[in-house]
Amino acid sequence: MRPDFRFLIAHPAHFVACGFGSGLSPKAPGTAGTLAAWAIFPIFGTTLADGALLVLLALLFGLGVIVAGRTGRDLGVSDHGAIVWDEMVPFWLILVLTPKSWPWQAAAFVLFRFFDIVKPPPVRWADRRVKGGFGVMLDDLIAAGYTLLVLALFKRLLD
């Protein structure tokens, strides 16, 4: 099933899981969802302290487990491409922990998309073995970890 606008608004879980509509992109919905996350981040990322942001992101991860599970069941595919909340929340985590300049954020975007697409171990293991909403969210969280590790190494080399 290819979700459309009617599916998006049929249930609040669909609206959130599909990244407020960004997951309906006909090409590269994961990239569209990550771009949407980047665009949305300044709304809350510049107004909350980092500690509050981390708490908020933990809550949004939990919400993601629920909405991704519901939306996947309704679509008949647990990790349907239209579900992009799993890209958004981990990318927000990356942005919280990344220097606030455009070059760092752009590098974070490219690295995150790379690790999400290539799925090096254990990302691939989580993607294949951990099911349901938690599995949908987990593999992208691990990809975010790889992204943060590479960014930290780059930062250390540049300092």
- Domain layout of the chain by residue ranges: 5-14+26-158
Q: Which of 10, 29, 26 is nearest to 85 (CA)?
A: 29
Residue 46 pLDDT > 90, yes or no?
A: no
pTM over 0.85: yes
Pick 50 or 34 by higher pLDDT.
34
Predicted local distance difference test score (pLDDT) of residue 43: 92
Instruction: Give the span between the Cα atoms of 154 and 33, in whole angstroms.
Output: 25
| Mean pLDDT, residues 130-153 | 97
Residue 78 pLDDT > 90, yes or no?
A: yes
Predicted local distance difference test score (pLDDT) of residue 124: 94
Q: Which of 72, 73, 68, 121 is nearest to 90 (CA)?
A: 68
